[in-house]
Amino acid sequence: MTVHRFKYLSALLVILCGLVLFGCGGGSSSSSSTPNPPPVIISVSLSPLSAQVLTGQSQMFTATASGTTNQNFTWSIDGAGSGNSTVGTISSDGTYTAPAVVPLAPTIDIRATSIADSTRFASASVTITSPVEDWPKYRRDLANTGRSIETGISSVNADPHRPATESQRLAGRCHC
């Protein structure tokens, strides 16, 4: 009779364990849990994509981000801050102001980086130009060759009939 009791108690124990497992959710998969939504991909666009800006003048850039409601951006010049007197400056609203003199490298990149996702950005190319040929370019003879890198002007090919300015005489760049 003990064998029969043992079988009866074993069967009862298996049924109780099964009820506990199914009652705790261990025996079935629940379809009531909500899966995580896929990650949102943010893209940034910038307008205009290129511009020519005269020295001392300004150009407004407009950035938009899709995939987010956050339309705030960090603006930078050549990926390194808001600029300086050599390359110009960009304000927090996207207004670029060119420097007073055309820099040695006259093309720069304006970058708008999404605050919602700092890995997402768009860039625009800006070429800084001057309304007239400016003599400060002539002073940018970094190797002291006597010849301007940008214009090719030197004391040899300068127009001798063009009067030199006082600053050119003082700088010793004009042999007039």
* Bridge partners, 66 (sequence order): 43
166 pLDDT tier (thresholds 50, 70, 90): low
174 pLDDT tier (thresholds 50, 70, 90): very low
Give the C-alpha separation, 82 to 88, whole Å.
Answer: 8
Please report the pLDDT score of residue 37 as a whole number. 79
Average of per-residue pLDDT across 81-102: 94
Instruction: Give the residue with greater pLDDT, 170 vs 121.
Output: 121
In angstroms, the Cα distances linking 80 to 30, 70, 76, 101, 165 are 51, 23, 6, 20, 37
* Domain locations along the chain: 43-129, 133-156+165-176
Q: Which fold has domain 43-129?
A: Immunoglobulin-like (2.60.40)
* SS3 label, residue 19: helix
Instruction: Give me 119's structure tokens.
Output: 């890995």
On whether the pTM is more than 0.85, the answer is no
Which tens digits make up the pLDDT trace of 94-146?
999 999 999 989 999 999 999 999 999 999 999 999 887 555 544 555 555 65
16 pLDDT tier (thresholds 50, 70, 90): low
Which tens digits make up the pLDDT trace of 34-80?
888 777 789 999 999 999 999 999 999 999 999 999 999 999 999 78
